[in-house]
Structure 1
Amino acid sequence: MSEHIRLTAAEIGAIWACYMTESATIPMLKYFYSIAEDSEVKSVIELALETSKEHLNELGTLFEKEEYPTPVGFSEEDVNLNAPRLFSDTYALYFIRNFGKAGLAAHGAAVSSAAREDIRALYKRYLQDAVEIEDEAKKALLSKGLFIRPPHLPTPKEAEFVKNETFLRGWLGERRPLTAEEITHMYMNYMNNLYGKSLLLGFAQTAQIAKVKKHFVRGVELSKDILDVLKILLEESNLPAPMTWDAEVSASSVSVFSDKLMMFQANALSAISLANIGGSIALSFRRDIAAKYSKQMINVGFYAEDGAEIMINNGWLELPPIAANRNDLVNQKK
């Protein structure tokens, strides 16, 4: 009989994070499914919901097999399925597409860092599931004329090289037009902030605890500031900025999700935003653009830290897998 190979820090960390994400997504998807009116949208929600349930059960079994404590996560107690409509069917598609995109990034990283064969196989399959979910949401948006495409660029006559360092400038003198990669990342960040702003707006309307509500309102304002900066950068290169999605949020103030679940989703948004901004800095050659992203990273970082403090103070933040504190162990021994 072969010796059991223990999970590495990377493997247990990815599994734990995946379990928490799926657990937090299921109540959201159940609500979207309960209020959905469009049959095509309902079908996409059902696919995402059943996939998340399957993943959660599989991961729970894996925790038991590894004799590792299963996270508490979230449940039906964190959602009021009888609450009136807070988000539109269209927004449900945006939510699912964003969920699929996040899955592509997380599962891809998990495959890359995993050593055990069964864990690699698990995340290869989850990666395929994320591709399918994102693609189905995208197809539904395209069929309804709601998918926002990045702009087209003119085709050059031949390949060229950068001739001087003005390519890097952005503070003084004439600014060069944006590169394709800079445009791609600006649109990605713009769309993510449109999505986040609308989600936090709905959360702010329905939060029960005053400090939590204030945190969501602050998040809405932070997203507005980021959108304003990106819009100006796009317009300077004569590129259009997408419209806002605030109309996809109703005027309801009836509680739908628990404050704990909404705070988890807000913190997840902050983490995704920080990762996206970091990648955008790396691929932005113009110095002024990189500087603006750096400022955004600081602001989002402070927001994320304050969100974590709210979670901790309310006893909502589950401790992720963590290394042993050797100093504590030594002191206990004494």
Structure 2
Amino acid sequence: MMEKKINLTASEIGSLWASYITESATIPILKYFLKIVEDMEVKLVLETALHYSEEHLVELASIFKQENYPIPIGFSEADVNVKAPRLYSDTYTLYFIRSMGKAGIAANGASVSSAAREDIRKLYSKYLSTAVKVEDEAKKVLLAKGLFVRPPHLPIPKNPEFVQSDKFLRGWLGKRRPLTAEEITHIYMNYINNLYGVSLLMGFAQVAQNEKVKKHFIRGVDLSKDILDVLKILLDESNLPAPMTWDAEVSDSTVPPFSDKLMLFQCNALTSISLANIGGSIALSFRRDIAAKYVKQLGSVGLYAEDGAELMIRSGWFESPPHSADRKELME
């Protein structure tokens, strides 16, 4: 008796589609980085990341064929100029790889938990493992070179304690309590992510050809700097050091290594990650003033994300993701 084929669920096809688009957008950037890289340790990490991305793209295309589902267009070699001069330093490419790995861990972990079909679960378990490996390899090199930004250490308490007053939640008036470990973790995470974003978008703004796209990147730089200013005040109030900026990791080149379409996609992807991070930070920040700051940032970044999506659509670059049938339209 022939085994009945189990169709892909909405979450499974959504994950596969997003993975294909993301991998196809990553490969051109990694190929460019490999052309400009000079540090051999960094080159090895880039080669590992590229190998996995290319392998994943082939596997994903094969699944789409098996399921008789159209293969997404995504991105290609037409979106990269590997002969362009250096735009980012070798150090910054490591930060890019680590950021890519962290995003992969989050996305693939969610895909594992939402998948029902065994082959898709196994696929995303493997992808989760490779994302962990890529992120870890990048982190090892950053640590070896003294470039990894560590959150601060905390004093060790003598005994466990319970919170005795709702003053623990306050933060608007009077003396503010010290930041908790989770609050510090999220402030540092958001701070570093915005440092990364400032440098990435600064480089993009230098080389963008479309004026509207260029202005969007410049607006993103300003938005990230505003967020950094807010987070730095929180760190200063607790006598915690803020990480150094990475502006020096961007060259003065104005020759575009990437298409405006690819850069805008990467900008939108970074904005989506930022929204997810801010949401998690709100949930784990018990001091009301900190949560309020994140809520304000959520509004600003959300509006920026919407404008980025609209710009992609108006430019004819927004590939339609899998969606349900429009029954009203079908019945007309």
What is the TM-score with the length of structure 1 in the denominator? 0.99
User: Amino acid of the residue matched to residue 228 of structure 1?
Assistant: D
CA distance in 2, matches of 1:171, 1:68: 54
Q: Which residue of 1 aligns with 2:7?
A: 6
Tell me the SS of whatever aligns to 1:152. coil
Q: Deviations over 1:292-313 (max 9, x none)?
A: 0000000000000000011000
Deviation of the 1:256 alpha carbon? 1.0
- State the identity %: 72
Q: Which residue of 2 aligns with 1:303?
A: 304
Counting only pairs closer than 5 Å after superposition, residues 99-248 of structure 1 correspond to structure 2 as 99-248=100-249
CA distance in 1, matches of 2:205, 2:56: 30
User: Amino acid of the residue matched to residue 53 of structure 1?
Assistant: E
User: Amino acid of the residue matched to residue 112 of structure 1?
Assistant: S
User: Amino acid of the residue matched to residue 116 of structure 2?
Assistant: A
Q: Which residue of 2 aligns with 1:76?
A: 77
CA distance in 2, matches of 1:176, 1:208: 48
**Structure 2 residue 33 is the aligned partner of structure 1 residue 32:** yes
Q: Deviations over 1:192-226 (max 9, x none)?
A: 11111100000000000000000000000000000
CA distance in 2, matches of 1:25, 1:226: 26
Counting only pairs closer than 5 Å after superposition, residues 248-263 of structure 1 correspond to structure 2 as 248-263=249-264
User: Amino acid of the residue matched to residue 318 of structure 1?
Assistant: E
Deviation of the 1:227 alpha carbon? 0.5
Tell me the SS of whatever aligns to 1:204. helix
- The runs of 5 or more residues in structure 2 that have no matched partner are none
Moved over 4 A (4+): none
Tell me the SS of whatever aligns to 2:70. coil
CA distance in 1, matches of 2:238, 2:326: 52
Deviation of the 1:235 alpha carbon? 1.0
Tell me the SS of whatever aligns to 1:64. helix
User: Amino acid of the residue matched to residue 318 of structure 2?
Assistant: L
User: Amino acid of the residue matched to residue 258 of structure 1?
Assistant: S
Deviation of the 1:146 alpha carbon? 0.4
User: Amino acid of the residue matched to residue 329 of structure 1?
Assistant: L
User: Amino acid of the residue matched to residue 105 of structure 1?
Assistant: A
**Structure 2 residue 57 is the aligned partner of structure 1 residue 41:** no
User: Amino acid of the residue matched to residue 32 of structure 1?
Assistant: F
Deviation of the 1:169 alpha carbon? 0.5
Q: Which residue of 1 aligns with 2:66?
A: 65
What is the TM-score with the length of structure 2 in the denominator? 0.99
